[in-house]
Structure 1
Amino acid sequence: MSANTVSGLWKKLTGKLNMSKPDIHMPTIIQRDDHCVSRSLISDSALKVMHRLNQGGYQAYLVGGGVRDILLGGQPKDFDVATDATPEQVRGLFRNSRIIGRRFRIVHVRFGRDVIEVTTFRGSHDAPETQTNPRSKRSARNESGMLLRDNVFGSMDEDALRRDLSINALYYSSKDFAIYDFADGLEDLKRRLIRVIGDPETRYREDPVRMLRVVRFAAKLDFDIEPATEAPLKNLSPLLSDIAAARMFDEVLKLLMNGRALQTYALMQRYGLFAPLFPATQKLLDRGVPHAYELIQQGLANTDARISEDKPVTPAFLYAVLLWPVVKEIHAELVAEGVPEIPALHQASERVLHKQQQTVAIPKRFSLPMRDIWELQLRFARQSGKRATQVVENRYFRAGYDFLLLREQAGEIDNSLSQWWQAYYEAQPETREGMGRPREDNDRPRRPRRRRRGPRKDT
């Protein structure tokens, strides 16, 4: 049945019965011949999940980015499935699955390294909790309207209007091969527009992370942000401070490790969304601390370039870039107070990371390499001889050296150090022994240690 037919039948019915449209939403249905989504473009794992859910008597639809990206001519990497089955019912169908999350309970179905995320249709936040409907569990909010728990299950049309963006509320069925559009998402795709479903301020208060999703998709897809969607961003950006720090770690990776970090960062600055995540770094940027802005810009540009070249990138390097200006300033203060340079760096790193954990929690598997990358910056400037060999043999030497190059690109230091270390790294062992490190202006020759003598004995 075509979209026009559905719409016509609805108008005919409501006109005869003198009805106003009830609290359901008729989708626009795009038949197979009128769209480009094909099963050949969908992962076998996602098709298996939908097929088994359908066999079990449940509805199942490919939803969100998988549908959106195919319609835009891309090749999705992730596929999400929406269903009317509860998480427990999904878990019962797939032994290779597990239920995760507390605020939003979802199911991960794993096929080797491929993971399909399955979500139950969400219902209205204010749906009453009833004994006759065990599927319905009341949502919980804090004083600002943010949802603390949200496992209210509902119908497909309710689920569509609960999604954040119109372009993510597109559902594909592997049974009839049609696309169901509940929020004019197809029209927004054509207009290249990011639009929040519902009242933007209310939706942002329910989940402030939606503000980050708006700028992330605007940068990723090179779309404009609809004026009403854009208007509350700056005023509501402080709400991001209420988000759990552990959740924010993953959100930052989605923002800045998607190949469009530079564009995303520019939007975050425009709408005040960077400061709640990295308050100490933002303060330095606001003060115009030399080289801080250039370092971050160059670091994000380099990250985008590596991703475009299909080279590996690590969160440790990214976070090391974002926090280095703060570490560097505190380190300088401690050295001025008389603390030796290496211990001063350790103290500065500890202070910065401890403070940062309050807004974005960085796991130890990344924070420990960050410390090594920072410490290598001091060792690059002061090591020679046998110690230089130890630096080259450090397992994070390559990352530390790339960070050194980044500092040079940002104008923080000149390029004499990187040239010397590159030559040292490529030299043969016998050649290394004769290589001397270029002396820096602040280098001082060591004073010979005085040998203590005991009291002079009378003879």
Structure 2
Amino acid sequence: MCGCSQRRRASIFTRQPDGNGPGEIFFQAHGITPIDPQALPQPVLRSVPRDQHPISRKDISPNALRVLYRLREAGFGAYLVGGAVRDLLLGMHPKDFDVATDATPEQVKQLFRNCRLIGRRFRLAHVVYGREIIEVATFRANVDDGSGDREVEDGRLVRDNVYGTIEDDAVRRDFTCNALYYAIEDFSVRDYTGGYEDVLARKMRLIGDPETRYREDPVRMLRAVRLAAKLGFSIDPPTAEPIPRLAGLLAEAAPARLFEEMLKLFLSGHAVASFEGLERHGLLGALMPETAAALRSNRSGALRRMVLKGLAGTDARVAADEPVSPAFLFALLLWPAYCRALAGLQAQGMPVEEAQRRAADRVTLHQVQTIALPKRFSLPMQEIWLLQSRFSTRQRKRVFRLLAHPRFRAAYDFLALRLAASDSHAADVEFWREAQQSSGDALAASLDASAASGEDADLDGAPRRRRRRRRRGATASE
């Protein structure tokens, strides 16, 4: 996608289920949280001139350039900042272009008629060009000036409208690769934290002491894994070392925020690399403890193969610009936990159908305590699981009822995916594939013929052994 294409703005500026407003969501998205100013590294400016870096204005959104030039002409500093600069240095095409400036939000609004100010906790300017939004943020200071414009609650920065310098702004960011500034005045790249060299070395490195920064905001551990997966970066050893030790701190994060992070991890086109990164750095158990336990106990590795195959399919769909359902994603990620719970309930002698419902409810209930999975996704997820046992039916009425089920296609795709773990479902996959391709009359005739002959048959005529119906009150041994 071209860098000047219309911006697909994520919903990080809408109010979230845990009550976070635009200001706090901005901090989370950009890795900005309160830190001890004395613990910050001293910024050291390195200016990379235009002839020594690959960024060209033709790769920058024309609307972002308009904002940069107008700010500059009005006498303000104006810089393209963050992920856009990083991606341009890597030869990638950013979808979002953010601007940092020393102009206050009110001054920005005076310059642009198409500007609106958002957020009371963290005042931002949005300059709107049709469907594209250029976000303009004012440099924030590292210290409280006593004006009351900075508030910290329980270690979280919930209001910050104390303005500072570009040096202050740079050292407050999370990773060095996100603390780069492209100056429109001379087309240089300004680097205050060593991020330019880190981008060239394809390395993720935290600004400041890693353990301190993770304790300030544990979700930074997920951001490290996600960005490393997206960019193909390695995580600097001092940045990676505390992650397994501090993984338990994710329990302190808001479940709604962790849900948003899960979508970023797995629906951005790098799901396989993200999953492997979570495993490698000890974070999978903190996010999905029952899935992690089930994968450890599955010695054959069949469940892990299935998960990885499903995530590879998700990446392929994202690359092809095809939709991916979060319900299907979580059905895949929590399937190992469901299988383990189901086996445990059946081992206790619980009837199959009741065990299936209990296992689905149990896994969902336990998981939402960590990740706030909305019901609009958890209920379809459970339907996908519970429909799996119905694919063995060949009774005419039940076959047509299942084909008409609104969740049939997702459940069938899930059944096909299960072949990565075991080929025992191959006959069912083939039967339902043929059933979808056959006309209703042809399917009915085939099912009637198999019923009349006393056998269940595949659509290609291959006989299937008919199961004897158990008498009421009969025991399993009978």
Normalising by structure 2, report the TM-score: 0.78
Determine the structure 2 residue equivalent to 1:445. 469
Determine the structure 2 residue equivalent to 1:271. 281
Determine the structure 2 residue equivalent to 1:99. 118
Give secondary structure in 2 for the equivalent of 1:276. Answer: helix
1:406 deviates by 0.9
Aligned letter for 1:258?
A: S
Give secondary structure in 2 for the equivalent of 1:81. Answer: strand
Determine the structure 2 residue equivalent to 1:6. none
Determine the structure 2 residue equivalent to 1:403. 414
Contact 2:384-2:414 at 8 Å conserved across structures? yes
Tell me the distance in 1 between the aligned counterparts of 2:360 and 2:133: 36
Contact 2:259-2:371 at 8 Å conserved across structures? yes
Residues 224 and 55 from structure 1, CA distance in 2 versus in 1: closer, same or farther, beyond 3 angstroms?
same
Determine the structure 2 residue equivalent to 1:8. none
Determine the structure 2 residue equivalent to 1:250. 260
Alpha-carbon displacement from aligned partner over 1:314-349 (angstroms, at most 9, x marks no partner): 222111101122223333444566665455433332
Give secondary structure in 2 for the equivalent of 1:423. Answer: helix
Residues 382 and 81 from structure 1, CA distance in 2 versus in 1: closer, same or farther, beyond 3 angstroms?
farther
Tell me the distance in 1 between the aligned counterparts of 2:114 and 2:363: 43
Aligned letter for 1:41?
A: D
Alpha-carbon displacement from aligned partner over 1:386-444 (angstroms, at most 9, x marks no partner): 33223223333222111111111122743111100000100111110123466988944
Determine the structure 1 residue equivalent to 2:59. 41
Tell me the distance in 2 between the aligned counterparts of 1:165 and 1:410: 38
Any stretches of 5+ residues in structure 2 without a counterpart?
A: 1-39, 448-455, 474-478
Alpha-carbon displacement from aligned partner over 1:31-59 (angstroms, at most 9, x marks no partner): 33332222321223433444555566654
Task: Note the 1:355-434 alignment, pairs <5 A.
Answer: 355-382=366-393, 384-411=395-422, 413-433=424-444, 434=446
Determine the structure 2 residue equivalent to 1:230. 240
Residues 210 and 425 from structure 1, CA distance in 2 versus in 1: closer, same or farther, beyond 3 angstroms?
same
Determine the structure 1 residue equivalent to 2:96. 78
Tell me the distance in 1 between the aligned counterparts of 2:409 and 2:61: 36
Give secondary structure in 1 for the equivalent of 2:150. Answer: coil
| Percent identity over paired residues | 44
1:70 deviates by 1.0
Task: Note the 1:93-242 alignment, pairs <5 A.
Answer: 97=116, 99=118, 111-124=129-142, 127-131=143-147, 136-142=149-155, 147=156, 149=158, 151=160, 153-242=163-252
Determine the structure 2 residue equivalent to 1:308. 319
Q: Which has the higher contact order (CA 8 A, sep 6+)?
A: 2
Give secondary structure in 1 for the equivalent of 2:306. Answer: helix
Tell me the distance in 1 between the aligned counterparts of 2:128 and 2:394: 48
Any stretches of 5+ residues in structure 1 without a counterpart?
A: 1-21, 450-459
Alpha-carbon displacement from aligned partner over 1:241-288 (angstroms, at most 9, x marks no partner): 111010111111221222222222222112111111111211222323
Residues 156 and 417 from structure 1, CA distance in 2 versus in 1: closer, same or farther, beyond 3 angstroms?
same
Q: Which of residues 342, 352, 355 is equivalent to 2:363?
A: 352
Tell me the distance in 1 between the aligned counterparts of 2:290 and 2:442: 44
Tell me the distance in 1 between the aligned counterparts of 2:126 and 2:346: 50
Determine the structure 2 residue equivalent to 1:457. none
Tell me the distance in 2 between the aligned counterparts of 1:407 and 1:159: 49
Alpha-carbon displacement from aligned partner over 1:287-312 (angstroms, at most 9, x marks no partner): 23663322222222222233334433
Tell me the distance in 2 between the aligned counterparts of 1:247 and 1:63: 24
Task: State the superposition RMSD in angstroms.
Answer: 3.2
Tell me the distance in 2 between the aligned counterparts of 1:241 and 1:29: 40
Residue correspondences, number: 418
Contact 1:211-1:233 at 8 Å conserved across structures? yes
Contact 2:255-2:369 at 8 Å conserved across structures? yes
1:148 deviates by 5.1
Normalising by structure 1, report the TM-score: 0.80
Contact 1:331-1:348 at 8 Å conserved across structures? yes
Contact 2:263-2:326 at 8 Å conserved across structures? yes
Residues 159 and 285 from structure 1, CA distance in 2 versus in 1: closer, same or farther, beyond 3 angstroms?
same
Tell me the distance in 2 between the aligned counterparts of 1:339 and 1:118: 59
Give secondary structure in 1 for the equivalent of 2:372. Answer: coil
